Structure 1
Amino acid sequence: MPRVRVEYGGSWAADVVERGIGIPPLDIPPVLSPVLSVDGRVEPDATAWLAEVHARTGGTRTAASHAESLQRFAAFLLERNTTLRGALNRHIVDYVRHRTVDAATRVAGATWQRDRTAIKQFYEWLRDTHGIALPITLDTVPTFRGPVASMREGRGVPVDCAAGTPLEPPQIPELLAAARRPGPGGMNLAGARDAAFIGLGLACGARADTLAHLTIYELPDPALPGDLVEMYLPGAVSKSRREVRLLAFRQHLEPVYGYLKAARPLLLRDWRPEDPIRIAQPPVPGCREVFDTAGNRLRFDTMTAGERQRLLTPGGEPAMLFLSARNGAPLSYRAAEELTSDASRLAEAHARARGAWFPHVHTHDLRHTYATHLAALYMLGIPGRDPAAARCRPDARAAVRMAATGLGHVDAAVTAGYVRQAGRMCRHYGVEDFLGRIEEGQ
């Protein structure tokens, strides 16, 4: 278990708590902002700052993102026998090198910029609230919004310069094996679900909020032939708010189909939404809409997250793809975001035990992996039935266009950094590797 953790509060079942402690629990609202703990104890400075960020931003993802950045930085400092408050400038400089230069631990430039922002703002808060001297150097930098204070350490790292975020093809089976984490009695239901979640992210590159809200009716038909199959991502639960049609990796969908057949039926419980929407009958394959029992037409592209959570199959079960192992309810977005990181930590531990290295990855890195591998395939030339793929030649511009379409990027220039990484991967791997035709454990 990692020594530095991000904890999240939440509601509890009062009757269960009462049975456990023998008295009714106090009606105290749960802590909603992230809490940073070190060796099981709350880290007070980081936790207080995160609570302030959570309140200031209205409970957006900003506080959670900053918490993850501080978690990584605090773990780095702990290995050097110091704390967030005890960090010196040399620790900051070492961490910049650790995250942006060292081959085994460097990350994408965008990831580093998020970490740098969190570190800067945290130490500014610590200075203003507790009078702690800054371990960072602030420069006044002119911008189009006027002069701003900018942290000198780690400035100037291009967003797309640092390699390491997209998974290499042989690393994918390692991550999936760590996610499955079979228990002593055989199949781990939550592990099978987590592997399916990661597999779907690798297959289509969807963001965490989209993956968490997909229904069982939106997966490609498992009978479809080919290494790449057509898939639609709905707009109402995606950042771009527009439907995306893309090519999904057929091989990476296998954990999803296996989860649907074996683990998901066992995860179903008696949970039901308060105001259910019952589907009259399952849609025909390829149809992107359903009708409820009242005759209302529901389009998958425009169905909101709330409507999806209320959606029941004709048999009265939740239609959401990913379910909680605790009560069979639809998996929350917050819980879904943690799945990849948790599996990554296990993969990292397994790698360390055998003297190897595994990168720490988040759900968004599955998206980077999808884009990079799809771009690499278009550079190498994809064999298959898709007409566009059949006509493809090793062309970086075609790779950019295809990966940008799959990711839902309006501007293909956003994807250019992935394509440069794809070019480097093409020197080490072939078509079979990118299509997922490698044995787990290799």
Structure 2
Amino acid sequence: MADDSPRVKVVYGGSWDETVVALALGEPPIPVSPVLSPVLTVDGLIESDATEWLAHVFERTGGTKTSAAQADRICVLAEFLLEKNCSLRGATRKHIVAYVKHRTVSDARVSGATWHRDRSAIKPFYEWLRETYGIPLPFTLDVIHTPWGQKTSMREGRNVPRNSAAGTPIEPSQVPELLAAAWRIGHDGQLSTTNRTGARDAAFVSLGLACGARADTLTHLTIYELPDPSTPGDLVEMRLPGAISKTGREARLPAFRSHLQRVYDYANPAGGARRLLLKGWTPENPIQVAEPPSPKFQGIIDTKGIRRFFNEMTAEERRRLVTPEGEPAILFLAAGKGSPLAYKTAEELTGDISKLAEANATASHKSFPHIHTHDLRHTYATHLAALFMLGVATGPGRDMHGRPHRVDIRSAVQMACMGLGHINEATTTLYIQQVGMMILRYSANDFLGRA
């Protein structure tokens, strides 16, 4: 049975029960403090260079936030190098140049801002490796004159614009093509006979289109956090929890009913495709739900009586969460073991689906843009702003003149900014540059999925 878990992982230490260990060993254990800094492992073995550097970062910054962010960035580099049969220490300039191309111009490209954050981890890691063990730098180090004095800069990948991947929002007419690709439907209209995860993948794409959540948030949402399907309206309020979001803040935003419906169909416990992915998998140290959420409490109560708010539950806690029936509570599951879908798999999901959509379009003498999960976020913001520009009311209430509440484009940007969790309104503005062109070609019914 195939295992879709990544070979390179970031592991965190934690508290342990000495009583349980003593029962297992038959004698009291040696008191050992848990490792607080991130640990990088490759195929289950500790990668000593990265782990030692991360401990240095943890001690220098005095907390987990910076070291955890750097760990994630070095983890991606290590995974790339592993595919090239190379270790972190063995990387050469050729490997770094290949990684720059992989992260900035390939099908797996990331935003310019993300790439600059990658560089902010690669440069200090290899500088530390040189100072500590005398390992030559695998890149060129330049001295740059700035208003604040001389600074050293990694030459490779330096000139990538920070807003180079502002986003590729797809148009309403392209949504069915992307969903057909998610179902593994070819250009001939035939469903692949080997498809076992089409409904899950279509639901993943649909949820991204419905609420604009980032890949990490989509991966770790639970079955309990979808809006009530009986809620009326084409736009329904949805909450995105803060603990697994980039900004750490809860977002409440209008979600597209038409896209959510596909997610409801997938998650339906009676006849949805999600039940076919359940394989009896259970996590270590499960957190079992005793009481599901209620209108007065946005969270669950576990069998120990602990109240756990969705907004405060970490990704690790969510992956341990099981329903009263003992099934995983995470919405999206892996096909092999029925375990929660690995984040790396989820991150690559939309890009892989997009490749099939592109192939289908080429076979039909058409074109389709290559997109990633983050582009679903751009699509959500663009379509929402277009609806507001077309005069769709923002809610059921009326203004002081008895007219439905409507907004202009600036207000639409501000609303999308708050919903997407952007601190800077200019970031949202980048997302919706194509609104003006879209509203000339499509109606409100098109954006709402009624057409």
Q: How does the TM-score come out when normalised to structure 2? A: 0.68
Q: Which residue of 1 aligns with 2:414?
A: 401
Alpha carbons of 1:342 and 1:307: their partners in 2 closer, same or farther (altered >3 Å)? same
Which secondary structure does the structure 2 equivalent of 1:405 belong to?
Answer: helix
- Provide Cα deviations, 1:194-218, integer angstroms capped at 9, x if missing partner: 1111111111111111111111010
- How many positions carry a matched residue from both structures? 375
What are the residue-to-residue correspondences of 1:342-361 with 2, within 5 Å?
Answer: 342-361=352-371
Q: CA deviation at 1:193?
A: 0.8
Aligned equivalent of 2:447: 434
Distance in structure 2 (CA, Å) of the matches to 1:107 and 1:332: 19
Looking at structure 2, the residues matched to 107 and 306 of structure 1 have their Cα atoms a distance apart, in angstroms, of 25
The answer on 1:180 being equivalent to 2:190 is no
| Equivalent residue, structure 1, for 2:337 | 327
Residue number in structure 1 paired with 2:438 = 425
282, 291, 296: which one pairs with 1:272? 282
Name the aligned partner's letter for residue 73 of structure 2.
Answer: T
Q: CA shift at 1:171, angstroms?
A: 2.0
AA of the residue aligned to 1:413: A
Cα drift, residue 309 of structure 1: 1.5
Using a 3 Å threshold, how does the CA distance of structure 1 residues 112 and 133 change in structure 2: closer, same or farther?
closer
Question: Which residue is 2:317 aligned to?
Answer: 307
Match status 1:283 vs 2:293: yes
Which residue is 1:338 aligned to? 348
- Counterpart of 2:419, as a letter, is G
1:168, distance to aligned residue in structure 2 (A) = 2.0
Contact 1:221/1:285 (<8 A) preserved: no
* Corresponding residue number in structure 1 for 2:18: none
CA offset digits 1:298-347 (Å, max 9, x no partner): 11111122221221112121111111111111112122112111111111
- Whole-angstrom CA distance in 2 between matches of 1:274 and 1:69: 29
2:245 alignment partner, one of 224, 238, 259: 238
CA drift at 1:166: 1.7
Distance verdict in 2 for CA 1:208–1:424, change over 3 Å: same
Separation in 2, partners of 1:160, 1:254 = 33
- Match status 1:217 vs 2:228: no
- What's 1:142 paired with? 146
Aligned partner (choices 391, 397, 408) of residue 405 of structure 2: 391
Cα deviation, residue 387, structure 1: 3.5
Check conservation: 1:140, 1:150, Cα contact below 8 A.
no
Counterpart AA for 1:142: T
Alignment of 1:2-401 (within 5 A): 9=7, 30-31=42-43, 60-63=71-74, 110=113, 140=144, 142=146, 144=148, 146-149=150-153, 155=159, 157=161, 159-160=162-163, 165-181=168-184, 188-261=195-268, 262-284=272-294, 287-383=297-393, 385-387=395-397, 390-393=404-407, 395-401=408-414
Structure 2 counterpart of 1:38: none
- Which moved further from structure 2: 212-221 or 186-195? 186-195
Q: Is the Cα contact below 8 Å between 1:107 and 1:165 reproduced in 2?
A: no
Q: Per-residue deviation at 1:160?
A: 4.7
Separation in 1, partners of 2:156, 2:284: 52
Amino acid at match of 1:60: A
Match of 1:78 in 2: none
Partner AA of 1:9 in structure 2: R
Instruction: Give the Å deviation of 1:432.
Output: 2.1
Q: What SS class does the counterpart of residue 351 from structure 1 fall into?
A: helix
Q: 1:388 and 1:160 mapped to 2: Cα distance?
A: 39
Displacement of 1:406 in angstroms is: 1.0
User: Separation in 1 of the partners of 2:122 and 2:445?
Assistant: 41
Please give the root-mean-square deviation of Cα atoms over the aligned residues, in Å: 4.5
Query: Partner letter of residue 290 of structure 2?
Result: A
For 1:399 and 1:190, locate their aligned partners in 2 and report how far apart those are by CA, in whole Å.
36
Give the structure 2 partner of residue 81 of structure 1. none
Structure 2: which amino acid aligns with 1:391? H
Counterpart contact for 1:163–1:421, Cα < 8 Å: no
Deviates more, 1:111-120 or 1:295-304: 111-120
Q: CA deviation at 1:286?
A: 7.2
Note closer, same or farther for the CA distance 1:374–1:296 as it changes in structure 2 (3 Å cut).
same
Q: 1:326 to 1:396 in 2, by over 3 A?
A: same
The SS at the match of 2:179 is helix
The 8 Å contact of residues 138 and 152 in structure 1, kept in 2 or not, is answered as no
Aligned residue in 1 for 2:62: none
- Is residue 392–residue 444 contact of structure 2 (8 Å, CA) maintained in 1? yes
Amino acid at match of 1:364: H
Moved more, 406-415 or 176-185: 176-185
- Secondary structure of 1:246's counterpart equals strand
Once residues 294 and 10 of structure 1 are traced to their aligned partners in structure 2, the CA distance between those partners, rounded to angstroms, is 34
Unaligned runs of 5+ residues in structure 1 are: 1-6, 12-28, 34-50, 75-83, 100-105
Deviates more, 1:300-309 or 1:417-426: 417-426
Give, in angstroms, the shift of residue 278 of structure 1. 1.6
1:412 corresponds to: 425
CA pair 156-197 structure 1, distance change in 2 beyond 3 A? closer
CA 1:242–1:151 in 2, change beyond 3 Å: closer, same or farther?
A: same
Shift of the alpha carbon at 1:368? 1.5
Q: 1:270 to 1:132 in 2, by over 3 A?
A: closer
Give the direction of change, closer, same or farther, for the CA distance of 1:330–1:188 in structure 2 (3 Å limit): same
TM normalised by structure 1 equals 0.69
Shift of 1:359: 1.8
